[in-house]
Amino acid sequence: MSRFYSLSFLILANITLCGCGQGSPADPYGQGTTPADFSQLKLSKTVNDPRVKNELDRLEAEKSLPSQIAESYRDQTDETSGEPIFKFLRGTDAETVNQALADSAHWWNPKSPGRDLLVSAQGQDFLGAWDVQRKAGRNILLQPKARFPVDLESGILADPSWTSTIHCLARAELLEAASQARLNNMSEAVTAIAYALAYADQLTEVPTLPARNTAAAIREETLLTMRALLRHPQFSAGQLRTLETVIKQTMQRWPKDTELWKADRASGLHFLEMIRAGHLASLLTREEYEAMMASGEFAKLSSSISRNLTTDQAFYLDAMKDVVASAEKPYYQRAEGLAAISDALNIAQMTPQYPTVSGDFLLSGMHAQHASFSKDRSRMTIWLAAVQAANGHLPDEMPLLDFSGKPVAIQEEANQVIASFEGIPGDLPDLVIPKFGTDQR
């Protein structure tokens, strides 16, 4: 369902949803319905087709329906943390946050690595603007079992902008690391790096795609900044050992992907329920809706979806059953199954039975998301193995990369360790980590 998370505006009139016309005559939700109400799946539960009914019964038994997924998240998080976290994350205007992210993104552009931060005053205005929140965020957001405002019952209509605030806080920590490095305070710089990674760790445990995508972006930017620290003349053996500990903790906290894709399936069911209730328009951006109305495509899309909705939902449930079942496997073992789903959609596209909602909305981009998350994990695996090698803790067997299934490639030299990212998308340069003598602290 990644297609929608980057969209800036969803057509939602205050609290009451605007539907197709006046809404479905069979709509059991009525006026004043909120997005969260559709998590009840009142209409989907009336479908008698065994392909849908049997799978929904199975999901209910394993507590994987939307409302059950939301309840599970609440059970696994600390209720007392929810309100202060909500107030803290909503304390900055969303437009201000988005502008701050846009204005600062170039500092971590892979084409001009983060080392620039260590030799210039870039980002000092950003750091100054976010410094109060940065210091407060360490205590408020990084507590165990923190409850973030995910609103799982609202599916795709949940507001994910809070993840952008955390992204800004992580960038502020990276700028703090650069600022401390310029003052030769390397231990303080590494501490700030650790806090940035801690934000990513927290987000990785939240079962939504916006949270996981933000976590991956934070880690990518953190690793660029870490490359710069490794080249600093005052960087020492003690700081390298600290980095090993920090990266190892990240890998130990990394959850299996099963809960993430269960939650994404729940969001897909919420999406289908809204369509059944006649609220397709509420699931499009304003720009999409206006363009489709002007061209007449909206009526065609509505007709295409309504003709085939039960078969469409059956296809989605069957595909997601396979996705969730394979989620504990590394990506290189999942890739064939993900490709098979794409192939089935491509074949169906030439037939009247094409599942429009599944193919054009819910499953669009899913394979790419799996690959992106695998790249994120594989990158961290390489970093951990390389730092361990430089610290003299080379594992007996090199770990296999989640993306390719190949072992991490490490080249040890007298004064440094070189790790390769070959086979990982992104054309990442080799990682060079210095070795330190035993007399260095």
Vertex 107: Cα angle to 104 and 110 (nearest 5)? 130
**Percent above pLDDT 90 for the chain:** 78
Q: Of 5, 385, 402, which Cα lies nearest the Cα of 206?
A: 5
Q: Would the pLDDT of 124 be above 70?
A: yes
Report the pLDDT value the prediction gives residue 5, as an integer from 0 to 100: 35
Q: Would the pLDDT of 438 be above 80?
A: no
Rounded Cα–Cα distance for residues 186 and 235 (Å): 6
Contact criterion met (CB below 8 Å) for 220 and 377:
no
Q: Would the pLDDT of 231 be above 80?
A: yes
Q: Would the pLDDT of 437 be above 80?
A: no
Domain ranges of the chain: 72-255+375-397, 284-364
Tell me the pLDDT tens digit for each residue of 240-287: 999 999 999 999 999 999 999 999 999 999 999 999 999 998 888 889
pTM (two decimals): 0.92
Residues 6+ positions from 414 with CB-CB distance below 8 Å: 435
Confidence band (pLDDT; 50, 70, 90) for 13?
very low
Rounded Cα–Cα distance for residues 342 and 19 (Å): 30
Rounded Cα–Cα distance for residues 72 and 69 (Å): 5
Both structure tokens of 440: 């260095």
Report the pLDDT value the prediction gives residue 401, as an integer from 0 to 100: 98
Mean pLDDT over all residues of the chain? 90
Taking the C-alpha atoms of 175, 178, 182 and 186 in order, what is their torsion angle to the nearest 10 degrees?
130
Least confident interval from 11-25, 107-121, 184-198: 11-25
Residues 165-179 have a mean pLDDT of 96
Q: Of 389, 390, 412, which Cα lies nearest the Cα of 399?
A: 389
Taking the C-alpha atoms of 428, 169, 194 and 104 in order, what is their torsion angle to the nearest 10 degrees?
30
**Per-residue b/e over 239-269, b at no fewer than 16 CB within 10 Å?**
bbbbbbebbeebeeebeebebbbbbbbbbbb
Q: Would the pLDDT of 28 be above 60?
A: yes
Residues 6+ positions from 348 with CB-CB distance below 8 Å: 315, 354, 355, 359
Contact criterion met (CB below 8 Å) for 316 and 363:
yes
Tell me the pLDDT tens digit for each residue of 287-315: 988 999 999 999 989 988 999 999 999 99
Which phi and psi angles does 383 have, rounded to 5°? -60, -45
Report the pLDDT value the prediction gives residue 171, as an integer from 0 to 100: 97
Confidence band (pLDDT; 50, 70, 90) for 29?
confident
Beta partners for 9?
A: none
Beta partners for 431?
A: 419
Q: What one-character-per-residue DSSP string does 101-153 give?
A: HHHHGGGG-TTS-GGGGGTS-TTHHHHHHHHHHHHHHHHHTSSTT------GG
Reduce the DSSP state of residue 75 to 3 states and report it. Answer: helix
Q: How far lies 412's CA from each of 400, 419, 431, 436, in Å? A: 18, 9, 12, 13
Confidence band (pLDDT; 50, 70, 90) for 38?
very high
Residues 6+ positions from 175 with CB-CB distance below 8 Å: 117, 123, 124, 126, 127
Tell me the pLDDT tens digit for each residue of 48-101: 999 999 999 999 999 999 999 999 999 999 999 999 999 999 888 899 999 999
Confidence band (pLDDT; 50, 70, 90) for 31?
confident
Most distant CA pair in the chain, distance:
79
Both structure tokens of 394: 């080379």
Both structure tokens of 133: 């929140």
Rounded Cα–Cα distance for residues 75 and 278 (Å): 32
Both structure tokens of 21: 């016309």
Contact criterion met (CB below 8 Å) for 403 and 358:
no
Confidence band (pLDDT; 50, 70, 90) for 123?
confident
Confidence band (pLDDT; 50, 70, 90) for 19?
very low
Element (H, E) at 411: strand 410-412
**Per-residue b/e over 419-433, b at no fewer than 16 CB within 10 Å?**
bbbeebeeebeebbb
Neighbours of 61 (CB within 10 A): 9
Q: How many residues does the chain have?
A: 441
Beta partners for 417?
A: 412, 433
Rounded Cα–Cα distance for residues 200 and 219 (Å): 6
Confidence band (pLDDT; 50, 70, 90) for 117?
low
Confidence band (pLDDT; 50, 70, 90) for 18?
very low
Q: Would the pLDDT of 404 be above 80?
A: yes
Report the pLDDT value the prediction gives residue 236, as an integer from 0 to 100: 96
Residues 18-29 have a mean pLDDT of 53
Rounded Cα–Cα distance for residues 88 and 92 (Å): 8
Report the pLDDT value the prediction gives residue 110, as an integer from 0 to 100: 67
